[in-house]
Amino acid sequence: MSTLQVRSDIITERDLDAGLATVRFSGTLSSETAGLLNAAVGRAAAECPAAVVVDLSELNPVAGPAVSVLPALTRHASRTWGVPVLLCGAAAEIVRELGSQRGSVALYDRRDDAVLAIRAGVPRWACEHLTPAPESVAAARRVVGESCEAWGLGQLRDRACLVVSELATNAIQHTGSGFGVMVSGTPVFLRIGVRDGSSAPPRIINLPGTSGAIVPAGSGRGLRIVAGLASHWGCTALNTGKIVWALLRIPPS
């Protein structure tokens, strides 16, 4: 598990093996800290976890408009990333304030209860750690392809396998270390992430005959393909390395 301190009152903990990100908030919810909390949840959701838990056990009791940011950030994460966000540990005053919105907010007394709910209700998540060898690209495609078929997303299989092939190839070429492949499916997106040990982010450069093509450092085409196939993609820095992720929108049935 890695821990990234965003500021003194917002800490994000990532258990990438279990597919869970926990954002812990302490202090008072204000317009400033609400924006920071929303940004922290967004960064956590972008990393392809099965779900994000927001732990409010150290949040000072508040009422009124400030509390409205909590259901708003859960809806935003769901619409943007397709990631469920669960709240836990809120004081009684906050629970009462959220009472009228309980139908749209997943609220639990304890973090353990939220984790149990995630494990029971979000089974569409897979992760595999791979070695920096050429055959690992095929292994990454297998993880993603089998997940697509198992989750009834066969229509995305070819695109998803091409995306993970490019991400895995970049990880092997530019880090030389082992890497992890994560894939999850929600009603909105198929999410693919590759975590490697390099802190060097992808960058945008101009190549002859292109217009601001998106490519990783030292590569000629990898993320240009990803950018063309994904609804959106990005890179999130970790304490050790980074996650490059891509979201493929699931066509309506």
- The distance from CA 97 to its chain's CA centroid, rounded to whole angstroms, is 28
State which of 121, 136, 155 marks the end of a domain: 121
Residues 153 and 48 in one domain: no
pLDDT digit string (tens) for 128-167?
Answer: 999 999 899 999 999 999 999 999 999 999 999 999 999 9
Compute CA distances 44 → 34, 209, 239, whole Å.
Answer: 15, 36, 13
Last residue of one domain, picked from the residues 90, 121, 152: 121
Residues 157 and 108 in one domain: no
Same domain, 113 and 163: no
Last residue of a domain, one of 69, 91, 121: 121
Q: Are residues 154 and 38 in the same domain?
A: no
Tokens at 78, concatenated: 């769901």
Task: Answer yes or no: do 117 and 145 share one domain.
Answer: no
Residue 156, pLDDT score: 96
139/205 same-domain check: yes
Q: How many CB atoms lie within 10 A of CB 157?
A: 17
Q: Are 65 and 82 in a shared domain?
A: yes
Mark whether 85 and 155 lie in a shared domain.
no
**pLDDT tens profile 171-184:** 888 777 899 999 98
Domain count of the fold of the chain: 2
CA separation for the pair 141, 163 (Å, rounded)? 9
Phi, psi of 220 (to 5 degrees): -100, -20
- Note whether 130 and 113 are same-domain residues: no
Cβ partners under 8 Å of residue 241, min gap 6: 175, 195, 196, 197, 198, 199
Residue ranges making up the domain that contains 179: 125-249
CA 170-171-173 angle, 5° bins: 65
